[in-house]
Structure 1
């Protein structure tokens, strides 16, 4: 057989293989672009579901689900807005079933349903926007945790960290809320970009930010073959307090030692801060108030402790306000005026004021949202680790 015939046979085999591969692929529908952020700040959402009877958009910037319409190709769409620039979670309801947007790779990390995310940029870059500034790094770390399990944290190091091997940094431990994961402050809160931008503006000190997973009970159950326990029904009930105390034990005994061994952290209380949102804020307050030798800066975002718990478990904090005010360089409490935790958080502020415990506060518009959390992070980080 001559070389020409061999080449022809080889080409024939290749064509047959390509054809067979094409037959094996499932049919592809039309390209769906979603979400599409338009120049006028309106946003177009699309979802392909030819057989669906009804599709709705459910978005955090809408008060109620919005009906979508179907075209001849079976693509449902709706244009809403203009939308105030920010990052928002959303999803589709397809014949009553909530689904993510399959055309969008950005999603909300969560233990339960994972919503998609839409980023509506401002005319001027917002504090969480990607800007042309030096950027820090995000690292995923795994550490030995409670009951023989492996814990996970997301760690931000500031720009220049790897280029300055002799420099040490203060550390901010930042804890997400109920059902959130260790990725939420990174992927939704955009904490790394907020810090990059504030650093470029000279408004914050370079710092390491450690974002742990707050649900120790769920992780232990998962790694030991059990079922994730239901969340506590009472925010300051015995079960909630026990889980918060377990988190504190893990943070103090495992997370902090791991970080201080593997990162160039300044290992003293004046260079440690702790903060958190919602459940993470309650964990923050409990961890800080029971370890005043560990943290000099405390930030509670949309969270509080009841007067009963403060009186019962943390009486030295309020019975010796002069000592507390000397120890804490910052105690911050913030909440949105429409937050379902607004009443309890304001009562906590009033309690601290009556006990003569110094604190700084910020009450914003809006509810229990990550839009507000980004505001709080941008407001508090410039106050950390200042002389």
Structure 2
């Protein structure tokens, strides 16, 4: 009787697994697979594809007279239509991005849920740990708080959104903190630094190791015509674009003191020149 019961349970488990596999179409493909020696294998299941390629910022750069672009390599088709490529050399510690190109169409990796948006482009990401790349990870250290804050901008005639990082312990310390105003590049918005730049992870780790003082980091939207990032404003789910009105024509710079005033009013800041810094990328 016990043997029969065990057999019944085994059959039920097998049927359940088969049903799940049938529901999702196939057994999962592992991609990217980071090996112990830091080589990485990428896989893409496409039984009917003619050509599958990989492009990423870890590949040798393509160069021509006009621009530089990430390299492209071909994957090799294996069993059951799974295409595969393994990097010939170990990758150095870093945060990397990549995409597939399937018969000429750029596609994300369906086996990797980790994506970042850069303007209107979504790319998969993965981390090779070690050295400075460990700062990009969520480690067992005290964590700060990330808030999306709305403020009134009379100069621009808009309610606008920005991202603010406060260090671990801010809520209970009663202390005043210096402020770093961190500006994004062209096409970015208030989501750029916190997602692409992994600001919160880096600050958490640097502060925990005593390599940075606890600080408030303010990441505003540098596009004077925008309330907030695409999909986060009253305009709804508009396509992201770099071609925005009032780009780099002075309106944002004139309105910037409103941000400083708002932060000083609503956060425990060091309200002096010595307590403020500003940094940025490209347009920022």
Instruction: Give the TM bin, normalised by the shorter chain.
Output: 0.7 to 0.9
Q: Which has the higher contact order (CA 8 A, sep 6+)?
A: 2
User: Which runs of no fewer than 5 residues in structure 2 stay unpaired?
Assistant: 1-15, 61-70
- Greater gyration radius: 1
What value does the CA root-mean-square deviation take over the aligned residues? 3.1
Determine the structure 2 residue equivalent to 1:61: 58
CA distance in 2, matches of 1:230, 1:170: 32
* 1:223-372 equivalences in 2 (<5 Å): 223=234, 231=243, 240-242=247-249, 245-253=250-258, 255-280=259-284
Q: Structure 2 length normalisation: TM-score?
A: 0.76
Determine the structure 1 residue equivalent to 2:78: 71
Q: Flag the structure with higher strand content.
A: 2
CA distance in 2, matches of 1:125, 1:40: 16
Deviation per CA, 1:96-155: give whole Å up to 9, x if none: 121222222222222211111111112787333333322212222233346554422221
User: Which runs of no fewer than 5 residues in structure 1 stay unpaired?
Assistant: 1-18, 233-238, 281-387
- The answer to whether structure 1 residue 196 and structure 2 residue 196 are counterparts is no
Determine the structure 1 residue equivalent to 2:96: 88
Residue 200 of structure 1, CA deviation: 2.2
Residue 161 of structure 1, CA deviation: 0.8
Deviation per CA, 1:356-375: give whole Å up to 9, x if none: xxxxxxxxxxxxxxxxxxxx
2:178 and 2:216 in contact (8 A); partners too: yes
Judged with a 3 Å threshold, the aligned counterparts in structure 2 of structure 1 residues 260 and 123 are, in CA distance, closer, same or farther, namely: closer
Residue 223 of structure 1, CA deviation: 4.4
The count of residues paired between Structure 1 and Structure 2 equals 250
Judged with a 3 Å threshold, the aligned counterparts in structure 2 of structure 1 residues 151 and 113 are, in CA distance, closer, same or farther, namely: same
